[in-house]
């Protein structure tokens, strides 16, 4: 505070690092808020204005004058002091929340799973000392954003499917719903995307509520090696395919990709495990990726008796989680049987409406459609249409990918990658 009074030109580096509420001494916090406000407004500190803001007379300013005598001698030291105040505030809040958690644990009748979820909700935000939130200007950001746009590509992170990336990209904090009827390949589509993102350095976690970890690992190995899944599980591996599988298995073990096949998983479980997964991979700079396969299999914490309401609560909880993690979220969803009454039964976003509020909660909605499943004579054999029915910050449209049935792999049509 003394540094700001004597050197208001340091405010760009100091103000914003901490807030008045970060000071353990409420009196000092009030003085800091007043000093920072005056510096931001006037570029200087007028003692009369400061006294008026603090509601004290000239005699009461003696303590404020004392602050200037202990002012940090350099801009760097002033910044270090501000960071210390912020860090100590985080420790105090963690101590307070931990005490509250201990008090909750002592109450009788607490359900362990519910208690753990509540404890995670209390403590998780405190692990992110630089948590996002609050008003922020765009100073210094627009040049980088426009420079990226000038490259002629979609803003955001590519999916790895080049043909799809022409019309679709991933944004931090976003949730993408992947909808399809059974056996269309939605799990394989998302698994392929996770493999591509993991190769690019993104830590990826898939909640596999329909298939166990071993099955998912075998399918991932099939995708990476090009060896048909039936060949692997059918014990028809020869020396040549064995070498390919070994190389694929070694790569899979090195990737930051994990599966959670726990049963009875609730949105609270997903929150706790996803936060832990992100902390475990904090050394990786790229956004975390969380996928849920599939949404209707997530167990509601407290069932209401109305399935749509329950799923709506789950989808909103997942959206809130991805905003917190600042990563990419995917939720797979079944579609209404009503679509089968259409000819052809090509899906659209309306087919999600019987599944809670997925359509409204998700930033993006993608449908998978393979015409050959319903028409053996179609011209689109071995192809899948990826229908982007909703994209919060981009166009809608469709892209065709090649589909390899034996390996259940989606790839770009011409390059098969």
Tell me if 2-127 shares its fold with 151-411: no
Identify the three-state secondary structure at position 410. Answer: strand
How far apart (Å, rounded) are the C-alpha atoms in residues 309 and 107? 30
Alpha-helical (H) ranges within 128-266 are 142-149, 162-165, 186-199, 213-225, 229-233, 239-254
Q: How far is CA 247 from CA 241, 254, 411, in A?
A: 10, 11, 20
- For the chain, the C-alpha Rg in angstroms (whole number) is 27
Average pLDDT, the chain: 81
Q: What is the pLDDT of residues 186-210, one digit of tens each?
A: 999 999 999 999 999 999 999 998 8
Contact status, residue 205 vs residue 190, Cβ threshold 8 Å: no
Strand partners, 386: 368, 399
pLDDT at 413: 81
Contact status, residue 374 vs residue 147, Cβ threshold 8 Å: no
Share above pLDDT 70 across residues of the chain, in percent, rounded to a whole number: 80
Place of tokens 């049963």: 263
Q: Which CATH number fits domain 2-127: 1.10.3210.10, 1.10.20.10, 3.90.420.10, 1.10.860.10?
A: 1.10.860.10
Residue ranges of domains in the chain: 2-127, 151-411
Instruction: With cut-offs at 50, 70 and 90, classify the pLDDT of residue 132.
Output: very low
pLDDT at 117: 66
Q: Which residues contact 242 (CB under 8 A, 6 or more apart)?
A: none
Mean of the pLDDT values across residues 372-387?
88
pLDDT at 417: 53
Mean of the pLDDT values across residues 274-286?
87
How far apart (Å, rounded) are the C-alpha atoms in residues 67 and 10? 16
Contact status, residue 149 vs residue 394, Cβ threshold 8 Å: no
pLDDT at 128: 52
What are the phi and psi torsion angles at 216 (to 5°)?
Answer: -65, -40
Question: In 94-170, at which residue ranges do the beta strands (DSSP E only) sit?
Answer: none
The answer on pLDDT for 129 being more than 50 is no
Q: What is the pLDDT of residues 144-171, one digit of tens each?
A: 666 666 666 667 889 889 889 989 999 9
Identify the three-state secondary structure at position 323. Answer: helix
The answer on pLDDT for 143 being more than 70 is no
The answer on pLDDT for 133 being more than 60 is no
Which class in CATH covers the domain with range 151-411?
alpha beta
Torsion of CA 221, 165, 298, 325, to 10 degrees: 100
Q: Which residues contact 130 (CB under 8 A, 6 or more apart)?
A: none
Instruction: With cut-offs at 50, 70 and 90, classify the pLDDT of residue 130.
Output: very low
């Amino acid at each position: 505070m003394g540094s700001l009074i004597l050197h208001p030109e340091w405010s760009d580096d100091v103000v914003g690092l901490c807030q008045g509420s970060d000071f353990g001494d409420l009196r000092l916090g009030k003085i800091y808020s007043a000093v920072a406000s005056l510096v931001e407004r006037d570029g200087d500190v007028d003692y009369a204005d400061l006294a008026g803001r603090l509601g004290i007379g000239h005699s009461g300013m003696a303590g404020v004058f004392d602050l200037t005598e202990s002012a940090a001698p350099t801009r760097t030291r002033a910044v270090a002091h501000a960071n210390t105040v912020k860090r100590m505030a985080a420790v105090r809040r963690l101590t307070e929340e931990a005490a509250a958690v201990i008090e909750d644990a002592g109450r009788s009748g607490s359900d362990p799973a519910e208690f753990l979820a509540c404890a995670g909700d209390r403590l998780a935000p405190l692990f992110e000392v630089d948590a996002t939130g609050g008003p922020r200007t765009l100073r210094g950001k627009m040049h980088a954003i426009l420079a990226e746009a000038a490259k002629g590509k979609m803003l955001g992170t590519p999916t790895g499917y080049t043909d799809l990336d022409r019309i679709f990209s991933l944004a931090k904090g976003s949730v993408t719903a992947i909808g399809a009827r059974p056996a269309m390949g939605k799990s394989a589509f998302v698994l392929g995307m996770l493999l591509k993102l993991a190769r690019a350095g993104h830590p990826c976690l898939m909640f596999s509520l329909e298939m166990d970890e071993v099955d998912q690992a075998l399918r991932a190995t099939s995708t990476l090696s090009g060896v048909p899944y039936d060949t692997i599980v059918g014990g028809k591996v020869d020396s040549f395919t064995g070498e390919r599988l070994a190389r694929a298995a070694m790569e899979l073990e090195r990737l930051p990709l994990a599966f959670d096949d726990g049963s009875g998983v609730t949105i609270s479980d997903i929150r706790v495990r996803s936060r832990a997964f992100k902390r475990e991979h904090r050394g990786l700079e790229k956004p975390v990726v969380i996928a849920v396969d599939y949404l209707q299999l997530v167990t509601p914490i407290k069932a209401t008796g109305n399935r749509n309401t329950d799923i709506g609560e789950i989808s909103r909880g997942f959206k809130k989680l991805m905003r917190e993690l600042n990563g990419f979220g995917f939720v797979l969803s079944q579609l209404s049987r009503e679509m089968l009454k259409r000819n052809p039964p090509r899906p659209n976003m309306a087919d999600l409406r019987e599944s809670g509020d997925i359509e409204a909660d998700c930033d993006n909605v993608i449908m998978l459609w393979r015409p050959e499943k319903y028409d053996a004579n179609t011209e689109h054999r071995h192809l899948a249409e990826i229908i982007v029915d909703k994209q919060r910050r981009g166009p809608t449209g469709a892209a065709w990918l090649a589909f390899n049935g034996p390996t259940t792999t989606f790839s770009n049509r011409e390059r098969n990658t």
